């Protein structure tokens, strides 16, 4: 059986639903010698801010049980460095390129979007509203009014795809999702890392140079699945699920919970071929279960749950 993994997100047609989580894949150059970037559904870049950022002081990463704690601090070359050093490389590849955007104010986000809107190799923007390891900015990502305001402002700055990456630090993300959808977002990304820290008992000090960081990996998968589930019940635009995806079955769980596509993050550090592996394993899963396309499976767990409850009540 030939299976079709293609999905549509806003104006973008993806050959498959698998892409890197921003910050775990650089700008693609770091992995280009290990995998064929043309195999990916999309390429999501590391963050871009108006001016270069040096990032946080080291140590920046710590392995935990079932998780990774990082505090990179959104290190990046800024708009000019991205255009000069990264765009020529990205022009070699076919998948859509979505640029992760950060700033300390809505005006800074708009500056990045406006500057990159004219670049033909940039197909969309992922707006980072929820990074837990920087000290300034991003507060507006935790309120309905804040999410609505930044989405409205950036929607007026570009006709390209606009993905809003939501915070995992609210009890129910549905209201934030509705706010973004109502102001013209093309998709939602859930979730970002969860804020955390670790302490070295011998030195009696925090291990990370910046004290706090973002927790990612298998330890947050259950949280991410819940958020995707809740968003699917609240919005009609596509959801991109991310958090602890290491294999094709993990990815299918997110699809069944309501995600149209998924991002692979921490797994890339453990296994550089994680994304091609996930693509292949998703295709195998569909074939083994007699499914030829992915679309009917998006959110299916909601429908099968409803059917089970109906049977039980009768």
The per-residue b/e assignment along 60-95, b for 16 or more CB within 10 angstroms, e otherwise, is bebeeeebbbbbbbbebbbbeebbeebbeebeebeb
- Residues 21/254, Cβ–Cβ less than 8 Å: no
Phi-psi group of 184: left, alpha or beta (phi > 0 → left; psi -120 to 50 → alpha; rest → beta) = left
Give yes or no: 131 in active site. Answer: yes
DSSP 59: P
Strands (E) located in 111-260: 124-128, 161-165, 187-190, 194-196, 199-200, 205-206, 213-216, 239-242
- Residues 173/24, Cβ–Cβ less than 8 Å: no
Return the biggest CA–CA distance within the chain. 64
Half-sphere CA count of 145, side-chain side, radius 13 A: 0
Q: Which residues pair with 196 in a beta bridge?
A: 213
Residues 85, 277: Cα–Cα separation, whole Å: 29
Query: SS3 of 218, please?
Result: helix
Residue 14's φ and ψ, nearest 5 degrees, are: -110, 135
Residues 96, 253: Cα–Cα separation, whole Å: 24
Residues 268, 237: Cα–Cα separation, whole Å: 27
Catalytic: which of 122, 131, 150, 166?
A: 131
**Both tokens of residue 306?**
């409803």
Point out the residues that are catalytic: 131
């Amino acid at each position: 059986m030939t299976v079709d993994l293609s999905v549509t997100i806003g104006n973008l047609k993806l050959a498959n639903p698998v892409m890197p989580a921003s910050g775990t894949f650089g700008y693609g150059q770091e992995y280009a010698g290990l995998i064929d970037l043309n195999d990916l559904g999309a390429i999501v870049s590391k963050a871009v801010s108006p001016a270069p950022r040096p990032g946080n002081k080291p140590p920046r990463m710590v392995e935990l049980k079932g998780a990774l704690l990082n505090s990179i601090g959104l290190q990046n070359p800024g708009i000019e460095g991205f255009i000069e050093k990264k765009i020529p490389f990205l022009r070699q590849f076919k998948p859509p390129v979505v640029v992760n955007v950060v700033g300390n104010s809505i005006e800074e986000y708009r500056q990045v979007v406006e500057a990159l809107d004219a670049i033909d190799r940039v197909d969309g923007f992922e707006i980072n509203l929820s990074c837990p390891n920087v000290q300034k900015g991003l507060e507006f990502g935790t309120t309905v009014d804040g999410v609505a305001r930044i989405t409205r402002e950036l929607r007026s700055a570009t006709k390209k795809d606009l993905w809003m990456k939501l915070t995992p630090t609210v009890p129910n993300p549905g209201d934030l999702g509705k706010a973004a959808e109502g102001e013209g977002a093309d998709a939602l990304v859930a979730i970002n890392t969860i804020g955390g820290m670790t302490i070295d008992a011998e030195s009696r000090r925090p291990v990370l140079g910046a004290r706090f960081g973002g927790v990612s990996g298998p330890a947050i998968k259950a949280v991410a699945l819940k958020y995707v589930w809740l968003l699917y019940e609240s919005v009609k635009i596509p959801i991109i699920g991310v958090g602890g995806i290491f294999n094709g079955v993990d990815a299918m769980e997110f699809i069944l919970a309501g995600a149209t596509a998924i991002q692979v993050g921490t797994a890339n550090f453990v296994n550089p071929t994680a994304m091609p592996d996930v693509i292949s394993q998703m295709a195998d899963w569909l074939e083994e279960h007699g499914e030829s396309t992915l679309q009917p499976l998006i959110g299916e767990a909601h429908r099968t749950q409803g059917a089970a409850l109906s049977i039980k009540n009768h």
